[in-house]
Amino acid sequence: MRRAVLAIIFLFICTTLLAQINDSLITIGKKYSVYSKILKEKRTYTVYLPPSYQRNPSKKYFVAYVLDGGRNKFLEVTGIAQSMNSIPDLKMQIPELIIVSIENTDRTRDFTPTHSLNYLDAENIAAFSTSGGADAFMQFIKKELMPQIDSSYRTLPKNLIIGHSLGGLFAINCLLESPGLFNYYLLIDPSWFWDHNYIGKRTREVLKTKTDLEGRVYIALANNMQEDKRHYQWGNEFYALLKNSTFSKLDVKLRYFEDEKHLTVPVPATYYGLRYIFDGFELDINEVCKNPDLINKHDLEMSQKMGVEIKSDESFVNTLGYIALHDRNIPDVAIAIFEINTKNYPSSVNVWDSLADAYLVKGLKGKAKSCYEKILSLQPDNIDAKRNLERIK
């Protein structure tokens, strides 16, 4: 009997410790694998879903595909994206993103558009022997990975690619050879040197023949002057080619990071690149408190710019409403903000409850009552709404 009791106590202790360990874990992504018939190998990728994904079952998201997407790169990009969209910190610089981080098997093979053994003035680089497989890797993303992501998650038909070094070279190749595969390009110090600046030559050819190049392109250049000034030269030449092209739907920006080297530039480049890609997305709290209709204007302008319907985040707008209501004591502004939220998210119980709070502060009991009745039409068993109705009566 004593052994049985000890066994039960031991099991209880182990279970409790396991629960405590699990409670302390911070999980930001999940790893998956898919067998690629095109590449004839298993490929692994990690997916990050934003905080609102489970709360808002009807919301769709932009997808960012990250190259060189091992653990460190996944944590780096996800951390930056989370920081730039953080409702608790009142930061809404970019929309929430689904992040798909693709791990490497042979990056030289997958990211290079031609077979070449050249690096600047050196030839016969043995490490480049498998080069030239970019087209197959692009087909893998287009025909196997993207359909898998789009069928598994609620995605918008607008995709972003983030590539550094050879990954940046591959992203440029996608822009030139498969327009429309991605809509936004974050090119971080791409490998301009590849195959005697092949990408510069190819860009000139494409600009003469193609008519459908479009997208928003951010180019980050690191300070590689000590190694070879041609990196800077070729990057600026590529930028000038796109900037001076006749494509009306092609927007491009270049930033030179004088204080960053090739291996240190990805962090600041990712931050500033995302700011450029989603330029105009941020709402100024102080301005909204002066004129709540700026929310509607913001949503309309961003929808036109991004080519998809954009509605300001429900929780963020709700937070702005309570700042106006309690922190700044301007209930009329709070009511206007909450009313916008009810129009954007009429099926949300929370937005109607918040609007009722603002109405009650103003003494508008009849309008608050209508809000609670709306909640009960959405959730007939909502106890809080029933109690609040009783109090108003």
Among 277, 305, 329, give the residue marking a domain's end: 277
Among 215, 248, 277, give the residue marking a domain's end: 277
**Any domain includes 19:** no
Low-confidence residues of the chain: pLDDT under 50? 1-2, 4-21
- Among 168, 160, 181, 182, smallest CA distance to 275 is for 160
| Residues 237 and 341 both lie in one domain | no
| Residues 178 and 232 both lie in one domain | yes
Among 249, 277, 305, give the residue marking a domain's end: 277
CATH, residue 343 = 1.25.40.10
**Any domain includes 270:** yes
| Residues 111 and 223 both lie in one domain | yes
- Among 111, 225, 224, 251, smallest CA distance to 168 is for 111
The confidence score (pLDDT) of residue 18 equals 45
Sheet with strand 97-102: strands edge to edge: 30-36, 41-48, 97-102, 61-66, 155-164, 184-188, 215-222, 250-257
In the block, which residue shows the tokens 């985040």? 313
| Residues 357 and 298 both lie in one domain | yes
**Any domain includes 17:** no
Residues 6+ apart with CB under 8 A from 281: 92, 93, 94, 95, 302
| Residues 307 and 234 both lie in one domain | no
| Residues 207 and 295 both lie in one domain | no
The confidence score (pLDDT) of residue 4 equals 46
| Residues 100 and 219 both lie in one domain | yes
| Residues 145 and 173 both lie in one domain | yes
CA angle, 91 as apex, 89 and 93 as ends, to 5°? 165
| Residues 197 and 292 both lie in one domain | no
| Residues 184 and 321 both lie in one domain | no
CATH, residue 192 = 3.40.50.1820
**Any domain includes 220:** yes
The confidence score (pLDDT) of residue 211 equals 81
CA atoms within 13 A on the CB side of 109: 8
Beta bridge partners of 135: none
The confidence score (pLDDT) of residue 11 equals 45
| Residues 186 and 144 both lie in one domain | yes
Q: Which amino acid would we find at residue 386?
A: K
**Any domain includes 178:** yes
The confidence score (pLDDT) of residue 23 equals 57
- Other Cβ atoms within 10 Å of 347 Cβ, number: 9
Q: Token pair for residue 223?
A: 């300070």
**Any domain includes 333:** yes
| Residues 228 and 369 both lie in one domain | no
The confidence score (pLDDT) of residue 392 equals 86
Range of the domain at 356: 285-392
* Cα 186 from Cα 196, distance rounded (Å): 23
Burial of 95 (0-12, 13-18, 19+ CB in 10 A): buried
- Other Cβ atoms within 10 Å of 287 Cβ, number: 11
What total number of domains does the chain contain? Answer: 2
- Among 389, 327, 320, 381, smallest CA distance to 353 is for 389
The confidence score (pLDDT) of residue 55 equals 87
**Any domain includes 1:** no
Q: 28-73, pLDDT tens digit by residue?
A: 999 999 999 999 999 999 999 999 999 888 899 999 999 999 999 9
Q: Token pair for residue 289?
A: 């408190």
**Any domain includes 214:** yes
CA atoms within 13 A on the CB side of 156: 23
